[in-house]
């Protein structure tokens, strides 16, 4: 894009990039009340910055499928009011300098360690809203305006024949999706869309078909 003013020519890149076709999935904040798994052991940091945590075992444990789904999706709401809203613990550096509790599971897909949080926030430290996007690579790790994805980015979807209601809607980028480095053949990227569903199991894809869009910056 070039602008001319009093003989001065200024050239700058356009502030939008076409995307697609992209594969669109969905994730949500899991409610333990919708999970039917047997009780299992969990470790829950209190989130006070002191590295104090509660060991939940036996009848005081968390539902096993609630544990696995929160580990997968990132956040959840326990049926135990003393636990409340939690996020998956990712190890030293994310929630202070706390080490993994002794005896806990530390796998990215099998961890049973969580931390209490005041609100459901993505990697951009913004409270997630329905329809916000989680992308890969992590938008929070990019210097402002320089990354493949940035926390200030927004995306407008184009109609692909099956999502007419989404045509022209602007969606904010607010979170990181580790699994979005993978996407099916015939697509060029993967975006995970936050849903307000409380379901314990998979909430289904955002769209049955890939969608193209425009990244606004």
Cβ atoms of 184 and 191 within 8 Å: the answer is: no
- 74 pLDDT band, cuts 50/70/90, is confident
Virtual torsion, Cα 36, 42, 46, 47, nearest 10 deg: -90
Which candidate, 113, 125, 56, 107, places its Cα nearest to that of 88?
A: 113
Average pLDDT, the chain: 86
Indicate the pTM of the whole model.
0.80
Q: Given this model, what pLDDT does residue 153 score?
A: 95
Which candidate, 83, 87, 96, places its Cα nearest to that of 33?
A: 83
Domains in the chain: boundaries: 15-27+122-216, 30-116
**Which residue matches tokens 């789904």?**
69
Cβ atoms of 153 and 139 within 8 Å: the answer is: yes
| pLDDT tops 70 at residue 9 | no
Cβ atoms of 37 and 64 within 8 Å: the answer is: yes
Return the sign of the alpha-carbon dihedral for residues 151, 156, 160, 164: positive
Higher-confidence residue of 164 and 206: namely 206
Write out pLDDT tens, residues 92-147: 544 557 889 999 998 877 899 999 999 998 999 899 999 999 999 999 998 776 78
Q: Given this model, what pLDDT does residue 107 score?
A: 80
The Cα 133–Cα 82 span in angstroms is: 30
Q: Given this model, what pLDDT does residue 176 score?
A: 93
Write out pLDDT tens, residues 160-177: 555 556 667 889 999 999
**Which residue matches tokens 């459901």?**
120
Q: Given this model, what pLDDT does residue 72 score?
A: 86
The Cα 198–Cα 205 span in angstroms is: 15
For the segment 176-198, the average pLDDT, to the nearest whole number, is 94
């Amino acid at each position: 894009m070039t602008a001319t003013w009093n003989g001065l020519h200024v050239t700058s890149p356009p502030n939008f990039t076409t995307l697609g076709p992209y594969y669109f999935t969905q994730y949500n904040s899991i409610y333990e009340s919708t999970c039917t798994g047997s009780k299992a052991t969990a470790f829950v940091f209190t989130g006070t910055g002191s590295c104090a945590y509660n060991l939940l075992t036996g009848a005081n444990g968390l539902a096993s499928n609630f544990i696995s789904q929160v580990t997968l999706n990132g956040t959840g709401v326990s049926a135990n009011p003393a636990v409340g809203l939690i996020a998956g613990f990712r190890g030293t550096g994310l929630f202070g300098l706390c080490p993994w509790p002794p005896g806990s599971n530390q796998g990215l897909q099998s961890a049973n360690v969580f931390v209490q949080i005041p609100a459901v926030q993505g990697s951009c430290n913004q409270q997630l809203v329905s329809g916000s996007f989680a992308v890969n690579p992590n938008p929070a790790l990019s210097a402002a305006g320089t990354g493949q994805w940035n926390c200030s980015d927004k995306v407008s979807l184009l109609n692909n024949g099956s999502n007419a209601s989404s045509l022209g809607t602007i969606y904010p980028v607010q979170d990181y999706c580790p699994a979005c480095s993978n996407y099916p053949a015939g697509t060029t990227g993967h975006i995970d869309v936050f849903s307000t569903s409380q379901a314990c199991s998979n909430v289904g894809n955002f769209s049955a078909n890939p969608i193209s869009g425009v990244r606004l910056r």
